Chain A
Amino acid sequence: MKLVTLLLLIFITYSPAQQMDRLFWNGSDWRRLEKLADYDPELTYMMKIAYINGILDGRLFYYLKAWMMEQTFADSLYAETVDYLTPRELVKVLDNFYADPINGYIPLPSAIIISNMFGERIPMDTINEYIRHSKEWINRMILEQNQ
């Protein structure tokens, strides 16, 4: 009976997490990297750098492609600064950003933009507005995905 109760508890605990759809890596994935790397700081750093470089490469590749199709549109879509901070600095800022659990579900691509906004010393009101907008956007996306 105890075993059944335990299994039931595990099921109840894990079910919502499994049902939670995730479009992008977010704060929980970012923090989980340390555990995945078995708390090896070098491997954790390498994974974070690899992910950041992936995002930046994916962004640049499709920016160039969109630019070939519609320059004005591409320039407006990719207007945010994502390369103000070096990847090393970016890792540190993201670590700090995701240390606050309230930022946990902000997607990493948005967090990279936010981190660069911090680096550029953009007024906090603007950054907070962008964070709020990012939260609303990802919530809307996940809701649409579930629908």
Chain B
Amino acid sequence: MLCGQRQNRVFWDGSDWNRIAIQMNQESESIYRVKAAHINGLLDGRLYYYLKAWDVEPVLAENAYDDPLDLLRHKELIKALDNFYSDLKHITIPVISAIIIANMRIGGITEPVVYKYIEETRFWANSMKADIDSMSVEILAAKLDKHLSKPFDISDRYGRGPGYERKRVLKPKYPQVLDKDDKEMTWYMQLLQGWKFGIIGGINWWSASDSAGSSGSVYNLVIKTPLHFATENLETHVRLETGGVKFSTDLNGNQTAAYIQFGLRDSNIPLINRMMLDIGMGSTLGNTSFSSGLLIRLRKKKLDLITRYVSATSTSETKLPPNWISISLGFNF
């Protein structure tokens, strides 16, 4: 039985998780029910003591129980844990840590931080397992403190960085009574949340009628909208850019466009995680323009390298080139 397998093990880990399938004779419905029961237990155990702690020391409770555990539904979480534990090197990671890891990924924590968390969790889990028989709580906790002091508490100071938008769902749900001031703030807080800004500049290059290459410049203010959707494997952003474009001294003016960017997440190839396809539509010098391109995020998502192929309608007044390639470098605030 599962409880019998817990000898010399502090927490349920990947071997317990994977053993469920064997114990249940690979019956998917039964496997799901047992796994869901365990997850419910973990969440109930955490919530129970959070509420108890909140009654006495609200501030401490907020800090101690701030891990994101509820960004995924049970079904998604079980799938994420199955994937996580399919990698044998994660076997010793406790299930509760694996849940935090899955939620970190979906919550926008960068992969290097997640990787570091995994490594340190593995270290303390193995360390505790090795000499659990002789350890007191003090030593266990001291080990945690020593080896997991950084990303163990997934708070702002441990990897999210100043630009990370705190998800409302991470806030404790119960008991949460809004102050009068909070209620008054809610309507515009909701409007303001998620907006980000950046600047972008680059060059446009096109083939002129005499087959010679011509180039111009472009600079834009970037407005990142809160329309940011992320699943375990996919991420989508919507952003606006407005600024100026210059093809020649007498052909320059305003350029405004909206862009949808989408890319894969959690790929084994790190570069793929940084790449997004970029599709846009807008106005260039008063003419409708369409673009498709590729965005590569660099330097902790602070720097964007964007290559776009732009097509535009042209009038006899403006005489825009029909197509041009835009290569830009942008900085996100």
Contacts and interface: CB of A to CB of B under 8 A. Distances in A.
Interface of A: 23-25, 33, 36-37, 40, 43, 45-70, 73, 77-78, 86-88, 107-110, 141, 144-145, 147
A53 B6 contact: yes
Interface stretch (B60-68, B218-226, B236-244): B60-68
A47 B96 CA distance: 17
In this complex, which of B23, B38, B53, B96 has the most chain A Cβ atoms within 10 angstroms of its Cβ?
A: B38
Given A50-B38, A56-B45, A62-B64, A144 B174 contact: yes
B60 A57 contact: no
A50 B299 CA distance: 43
B63 A69 contact: yes
22 contacts: A23-B47, A47-B34, A48-B37, A49-B2, A50-B37, A51-B44, A53-B12, A54-B40, A55-B48, A56-B45, A57-B45, A58-B44, A61-B11, A61-B46, A63-B49, A66-B60, A70-B57, A73-B56, A73-B57, A108-B44, A145-B173, A147-B177
Contacts of B53: 66, 73, 77
A53 B2 CA distance: 9
B203 to A, nearest CB: 52
A140 to B, nearest CB: 9
Interface residues of B, number: 53
B177 A144 contact: yes
Interface of B: 1-3, 6, 10-12, 16, 20, 23-24, 30, 33-35, 37-53, 56-57, 60, 63-65, 94-97, 137, 140-141, 144-145, 152-153, 173-175, 177
B33 A37 contact: yes
B49 A78 contact: yes
Contact of B174 (A49, A58, A59, A141): A141
A58 B41 contact: yes
B40 A51 contact: yes
B96 A61 contact: yes
A77 B11 contact: no
Contacts of A37: 30, 33
A50 B2 CA distance: 8
B34 A57 contact: no
Contact of B60 (A33, A55, A70, A86): A70
B141 A109 contact: no
Nearest to B153: A65
Given A53-B12, A57-B12, A141-B174, A46 B2 contact: yes
A43 B33 contact: yes
Given A50-B2, A66-B53, A144-B177, A57 B24 contact: no
